[in-house]
Amino acid sequence: MSYNLLKGKRGIIFGALDENSIAWKTAERVHEEGGTFVLTNAPVAMRMGEINKLAEKTGSQIIPADATSEEDLQNLVSQATEILGGKLDFVLHSIGMSINVRKGKHYTDQNYAWTQKGTDVSAMSFHKTMQTLYKQDAMNEWGSIVALTYMAAQRVFPDYNDMAENKAYLESVARSFGYFFGKDKKVRVNTISQSPTPTTAGSGVKGFDGFIAYAEKMSPLGNATAMDCANYTVSLFSDLTKRVTLQNLYNDGGFSNMGVSDAVMDAFVKGQEE
């Protein structure tokens, strides 16, 4: 169902890899709601993914960019405004990576060079992106910038490893930069803290199926899907959320306010009895 919420709006969507990814679903929904955009991803991710299919489907151009490179980002932003014919109204940052997670390094046994790389890709890239947009004055007033995060920024999920710090850093950048973007340019900046979602990126986390099953049992509405996240993002890109900024918004079926649920307690008691 389309409401034309983003008619005439232009933007950049980072991080679409394949059709499981939240950025991919968001691009599809933005397109349905009348928004136009350029797609971007790291050159290596583009070789792995199927982003050309998405570009074709949404009539979008792809600009490869390494989000950790200021030069690449400057080029991306100036090309995007040129291709789209004006300043931007929305940006989605949907990037995260931990080499420690990928290579099975335990949290208590980090390779710090990998940790640093992960922080750069997952969190500092958000600051670099916003700094580039800010310096180039590339956002329209009442524009909206959204980054995707996870509740491991606030609570302990042992296997989420150093990604937890990356997300905490990301959320802090959203607030700090969001202040300046709001005050100086009337642009809003928020993060969406999403349920664990079976994406290609997410499934790299050890015990991920357990995360998903547990969150499903804990949440009164069940887990939010990638499509739920896409819809929520569309609402944040639209003019209906004009004064929502500096927020970390939970799209998680209620998980974040739960202590315990009947379903989890029943499973626990049953396990004890066995």
Please enumerate, by residue number, every residue annotated as part of a binding site for NAD(+): 15, 21-22, 95, 167
| Whole-number Å distance between alpha carbons of 15 and 39 | 8
| Whole-number Å distance between alpha carbons of 267 and 273 | 10
| Whole-number Å distance between alpha carbons of 156 and 205 | 14
Which residues belong to the annotated binding site?
A: 15, 21-22, 95, 167
Cite the active site residues.
150, 160
Instruction: Give the pair of three-digit tokens for residue 233.
Output: 């993002």
Instruction: Give the pair of three-digit tokens for residue 204.
Output: 């790299």
| Whole-number Å distance between alpha carbons of 1 and 189 | 26
